[in-house]
Each structure stands twice: as structure tokens, then as C-alpha cells.
Amino acid sequence: MAPMPEAPIMEAPAPIAPDRDRGATLELQNLTVRLYRHDSEIAAVNGVSFTLAPGETLTILGESGSGKSVTLKALMGLLPPRARVGGVVRLAGQSLLDLPRAALSRLRGRRISMVFQEPMSALDPVYTIGTQIAEAIVRHEGLSRRAAMQRAQEMLEHVRIPSARRRLSNYPHEMSGGMRQRAMIALALACKPDVLLADEPTTALDVTVQIQILLLLRQLQQELGMAMVFVTHDMGVAAEISDRVAVMYAGRFVETGTARQIIRDPRHPYTAGLLSSTVHGGRRGDSLEAIPGAPPDLAALQRGCAFAPRCRWAEARCRATDPPAVVRDGGGLVRCVRAAATA
């Protein structure tokens, strides 16, 4: 069957009621990840910390290769077995990094769930959409298959997939890109997780579908009281979706703040560069590729500020030591010696 054309956004169905108390705070302290490729050690994440309350959205913004996906996969326990993960990750007070694999897989989907950039990495080509969503519900909530299939249909309705009942029996390849993305969101939300990790969930889609999916995620998040970590390389998308933004560079948060602060008053030269490379400071669809130079090789990180080689303000001390994290008004942080001088 040919993929269906994208349907216009439909009338919103009644809100999904969260069926248990929500209150899971996600806490990261100094998360580090080392990955291995051939003989080299890749310093993919180099001390990431944040706290995310229920209902909040944090956007992680950064160029390709800055460690965004690795950060999310570390939270989900989805890194290759050779990866070394350090620091502390707590969800509702429970430490995740030292959980046995089986216990973590029970949490996945139910308490913390991920939407991937590429739907086919989450959807199984050999099962129908309905079977996949229902299976997750049966596994986590012990519903009967029939009740789970009913819930699966409701989830497809919630992500505004037209003819949801009929769509249950579609295979992923029978859907358009936008519908597959919606189906993956339905799968990720099927067990009403406390925390949703959304890894560039709209990058592969055309602009009108992107906007629909962003609005949808925002609305579902508010209905469910979920916390969300949203990853993007698009400043316009970040401004649209988030309360707080963290700008990531070479595995670190180099600047954090409210979306408004980051856009109106960037303090880190990298953030400022991202903004000026985005025409008019944040139009959707503009990419961040325009800063001269290239991100550092994470297999050969030097001492000091990782942005120094591309920074027009860099001084000797930037290359000598790690820049301190300076607290800005409103509680955000900036890692730059120049910010330290003006704080």
C-alpha cells in the first residue's frame, strides 16, 4: 500500500488522564560517558548535570556530534556494553546507573521512554503498529491483550492518527514518515511515562509536519504532567518547545538558562555564534552549521575550553584550564572566563 498523504491536524480528543501520581524528578549529577571505537577512547559526555521537575521541558541544543544522543541513551541504559558511564542519575530518587539490566528494562517505557530521530530504530518492521504498542502495555501493565489493543487505539487517536482503528493493523512501512513518527510517539507514551526523552523527533520531517508534532508533544506532555528532555540542533525549535535550554558542546553544557535568556542574552561565545548563524535569531529550520571551524575530536580532547580553537575571544588562560561555571541570574550557568569577568 502506498503511504497515505499527511492528514491535517484533527480535533483534539479528550485529554488522557494520568492514572497514577506523577512526581518523578530526573536528576543528573556529573554524568560522564566514555565510548570505545577501535583503539580510541571517545569522551562523549564530560560532566552533565541537571534537575528536571515533573511537567518541565529541558531542550538540549547543539551541533551534530556534541554528545546529545549519547546523554539520552545513557539515561535509558541503551549504550553499547563496553561504554563506561560515571556520575549519578536518579529518577524519583532511585539510582538508575547501578540498576541491573532487567530492572532497568522494566522501567523503560513505563517510567522513562524515548522517541528516536529515526522511527525505524524503535519500530519493528515485522509487527503491526497495534501489536507493538499493545505488547508494551501488556508487558508493563499486565492488561489483557484486548484491553491493551483498545488502549493502543486510543494512543493512536491521541497522536492524531486518522482512522486509528484501521491503522492498528498497519506495518510501519505502510505509513508515511509523519505517521510513523506519530506512531513512535504513541508507542513511547503508551505506558504514560514520567519522563519522555525526545531525540530530534522532528528533524526528518517537513516543516508543517514538524510544527504539528511539536505542538502535539507539548500538549501531551502537559496533559500527562510528564517531564521532557527534548534534543534538537535547531534554535527555532528550542525556543518553541522549551522552558529551559542547555547548549551542549563537546559533551558539556556550556550555557544553560531560560529559552528567553539564551536567545536574548547569550553569554557564551558558542551560543552567540549559534544565534548569529541562525538568521533573525531563531527561525525554524535554520541549521547551526555556520560557525567557522569544526567541533573538536572527542577522542583527543585537549585541556581547557573545548571551544577555544573556534573562539575569537580565546586567550592563553582559556587553553590552560577548564573555564569555571558561572551562575547567571535566574539560575543558569555559563562556562566561559569572559562571563566570569562580567558576572
Ligand X SMILES: Nc1ncnc2c1ncn2[C@@H]1O[C@H](COP(=O)(O)OP(=O)(O)O)[C@@H](O)[C@H]1O
CA gyration radius, the chain: 20
Nearest approach, Cβ of 18 to Mg ion (angstroms)?
29
Look at residues 343, 270, 257, 267 and name the one whose alpha carbon lies nearest to residue 306. 270
241 lines the binding site for ligand X (CB under 6 A)? no
Site for Mg ion in 14-43 (CB under 5 A): none
69 lines the binding site for Mg ion (CB under 5 A)? yes
How many whole angstroms separate alpha carbon 314 and alpha carbon 137? Answer: 53
CA dihedral 157, 159, 161, 167 (to 10 degrees): -70
Among 11, 21, 39, 80, which residue interacts with ligand X (rule: CB under 6 A)? 80
What are 301-307's contacts with CB under 8 Å, separation 24+?
A: 301/43, 301/46, 301/250, 305/335, 305/336, 305/337, 306/249, 306/250, 306/251, 306/252, 307/249, 307/250, 307/254, 307/268, 307/269, 307/270
Among Mg ion, ligand X, none, what binds residue 62 when CB lies within 5 to 8 Å by partner kind?
ligand X
Q: Which is nearer to Mg ion, 24 or 254 (CB)?
A: 254
Count residues near Mg ion (CB under 5 A): 2
40 lines the binding site for ligand X (CB under 6 A)? no
298 lines the binding site for ligand X (CB under 6 A)? yes
Applying CB under 5 A, which part among 14-22, 24-32, 67-75, 119-127 lies near Mg ion?
A: 67-75
The residue nearest Mg ion at its CB is 69
Site for ligand X in 10-39 (CB under 6 A): 35, 37
What DSSP letter does each residue of 15-60 carry, written as one string? PPPP-S-----EEEEEEEEEEEETTEEEEEEEEEEEEE-TT-EEEE
Contact 152, 137 (CB under 8 A): yes
Among Mg ion, ligand X, none, what binds residue 225 when CB lies within 5 to 8 Å by partner kind?
none
Contact 39, 75 (CB under 8 A): no
Q: Which is nearer to ligand X, 149 or 247 (CB)?
A: 247
Nearest approach, Cβ of 40 to ligand X (angstroms)?
9
Contact 189, 113 (CB under 8 A): yes
255: its cell numbers = 550555557
Among 46, 57, 69, 131, which residue interacts with ligand X (rule: CB under 6 A)? 69
237 lines the binding site for ligand X (CB under 6 A)? no
Q: How far is CA 289 from the centre of its chain?
A: 19
Contact 70, 35 (CB under 8 A): yes
Nearest approach, Cβ of 199 to Mg ion (angstroms)?
6
Q: Which is nearer to ligand X, 241 or 249 (CB)?
A: 249
67 lines the binding site for ligand X (CB under 6 A)? yes
Q: Which is nearer to ligand X, 42 or 263 (CB)?
A: 42
Among ligand X, Mg ion, none, what binds residue 306 when CB lies within 5 to 8 Å by partner kind?
none
Sign of the torsion angle spanned by Cα atoms 3, 5, 6, 12: negative
Among 30, 51, 64, 121, which residue interacts with ligand X (rule: CB under 6 A)? 64
Q: Which is nearer to ligand X, 72 or 183 (CB)?
A: 72
Give contact residues for ligand X (rule: CB under 6 A): 35, 37, 42, 44, 62, 64-70, 80, 298
Give contact residues for Mg ion (rule: CB under 5 A): 68-69
